[in-house]
Chain A
Amino acid sequence: MTADFMTSDFKTTSRRTFLTAALGAPMLAALTAACGSSGPSRSANTGGGGPGSASYWFLTSQPQEGIRTDTVKRFNAANPDQQIQYTTFQNDAFKTKIKTAIGAGQAPTIIYGWGGGTLRSYVSAGQVDDLTSWFGANPAVKNRLFPSAFGPATVDGKVYAMPTEAVQPIILYYNKEVFDNVGVTPPQSWGDVMDLVPKFNAKGIAPFSLGGQSRWTEMMWLEFLFDRIGGPEVFEAAYNGEPNAWSNPAAVDALTRAQDLIRANGFVRGFSSITADSNADQALLYTGKAAMMLHGSWTYGGMSTDGGDFVSSGKLGYMNFPPVDGGKGDPSDTLGNPAQYLSIYSKATDEQKEAAKKFFSTAILSADEIKQWIGTGSVPVVQGTQSELSTSKDADFLEFVYKVSTGAKVFAQSWDQALSPTAAETLLDNIARLFQLSIDPRQFADNMNQVIGK
């Protein structure tokens, strides 16, 4: 954004002053408006900023925002001399803002994130604290959380983040009503998926909804196909920097099958211009224009609020991704976000770090917060919540998510989060082209092999 600002300003100034003013003013206005969207949308004044007050930035959008806010408020009420001051940001704006703030040495005490490759880049720049010994000294904090949640928080054997909030596996959703009308049953294998495609298309119903412009939605398909065909080792090899890992026959097979599904019109018409942020992909499923959708467990909440009685009347079906015939992967494997993560900024003062650690151990995922997460249709990353899940109004779905998350042989992290930002951008770029059918699996593999280890 800064570079963009500079170039436009510089060039216009070389023309007549009057025109500069005429052109510059709307441009400046547009730019400040654009920058404004990444600024803090709300600053909370939670009492004076004493020496022990730590700062915490997190994401907007309800109901999650309310839970995060309540947790901070509970902590502040219980600890008058160790306050947490919070600021909220919209999701995409936050990702850019936090990066810039860390680069400028002005990050908050508590850094919210998704672990994986981005956390690794913070660690290699020395910007976040190693929490391994702190977890060692506080085993109660560590042991009550899902063990799978610590994977993306770990860089080279050391833990740099506290897992928090909810587990979010990717789920294959389907519209039961549409299945009944067409007279078919949910797919039990990849062969069934390909058989279902012409049956739905013949009735004018899109087999799969997909918000393809967001690119990571397309990525989820490849993640599952890679896992089901070749097991988690295929992507792990690429992640660990093995040369030519993307040319693995299992990888090429998975990429080919993805393109086969696109060629068979498996995805809704115009999928590459639909964004996931607008929830239009969910709307296609609950309005019956699409029969199935592969998406994160977080869309359940959106579909129950936006979809009328779609969820409450039991029309929403859900299952784990089906196996691929002859594939090596374990059908219980899943992937997605094993948790969200909180790290401590290494340049914060000792008092701020103390407050942050106390916040981690006493306020994060307290009994009250757990209750709130379950209330929104999410499964917190805490073990032994089954009894609470089963009394919720979304009991079936929550127990399904709990079972998938804890029963998975491997709970892999989403690729774009696991990889470094540089490799992730190349990956998403190539996925978009693969789904446009403008490159073939070989070209995809070649392009990706070039960024292995970057």
Chain B
Amino acid sequence: MNAVTRIAVVGAGQAAAVAARALRRRGFDGAIEIIGAETHRPYQRPPLSKEFLADGADGDGADSDLFLLPADWCEANDVRLRLGQEATRVDSAAGAVELTDGTRVPADAVLIATGGRPRRLTTSGPRVHYLRTLDDARRLRERLVPEARVIVAGAGFIGAEVAATARGLGADVTVIEPREAPLLPLLGTRVGAACAELHRANGTRLRLGAAVESVEETTAGVLVTARGERIEGDVLVVGIGIVPNDEVAARSGIAVADGVVTDEYCRASVPNVFAAGDVARHFHPLFGERIRAEHFDSASRQAAVAAGAILGGARAYDDPYWFWSDQYDASLQYAGHAAGSDEIVVRGSLEDLDFCAFYLRDGVLRGAFGIDRGAEVAAARELISQRRAVPPRALADEETDLTELAEPAELAEPTEPTEPAGAAGPETVPPETDEPTARGNIT
């Protein structure tokens, strides 16, 4: 393969920013051009439904924290941003990306990181909001004032975070969700019900099993009908998922299947074309299937892997997925891929909204979801990545430190004889010394 000297990134979000930084960190000194449809510099999306939105109508001071590739960094690192421009086609044979204005950006490697766009209702109007972009968030936060009647369609993560943020700003919030529990396909009925309880405990009304039937804007507000009930609000926020922006790939003869199909190294079906982030349907070696994830962490890690692959590296993206969702005062976190599990083990109390649920298949841990259980989720990430069979009773037992099941024995702390971690199997080799005095600061 000839050395890559010019790289174009189509899309200018998290994955694009991480890829650009990773390429420079790895010593790539050729051209990097980032083509973004929005006019904004690359920015982070996670705060848009949380802190940024919570800043409210007059917030603006923290905006600068959002941006991922400041102008001085781009200048110092010779990274060119082509903003407000869309790519129409990747011409990998000729080594170029074509833009809507006819420009051809030369590139011997192309990273497609175009993300996705909100799935939309057929009704549109000034009171019907979506939340994906910085402009969306700026428009929406104008609406989130105390006493505002906010209707949220969809109890997924965007809907839940908007609901929580709006409640925090003193709004009156109703969430409409067609399934019987929030996040049901992801988490199952019982854990989804706990997420419903988190909303109710914070004063958010839920209409479950209620699909939106009609939306009507009036001069005074917006009228939503769901399962026969008429709900009036000042604003409707629709969070019903995203559609991957894979059209540019499809037009270019690159394989797509609800996202740009890639192998574990983030390589697309055409040589010298790669994909990362929300648009990528990536073959995940850990779970043995092609998955299109929509998380900040996987976008970042896939982008770093893609950058390596562009430069001829051979490291796969095989980390368990991980994401967080801050809602109200609770920290929700998820690791792995719960879909396809055949057993759920709960540590803690679903009723008290203080738990970690573990998802297993054939005794092997593959997913975890917790409320205020960041420690357990961190340990679960490790166990999932190690494809570890973990005894359910160790998962359920509050006294078992899961990191001791995950870590190599030589790194683990010496355990007390009563520690139930002994059930973990071959990795729990007894420590060689009783007292950790051999090194360190204990005198």
A binds B: no
Q: Write the residues of chain A forming the contact surface with B, with a CB cutoff of 8 angstroms.
A: none
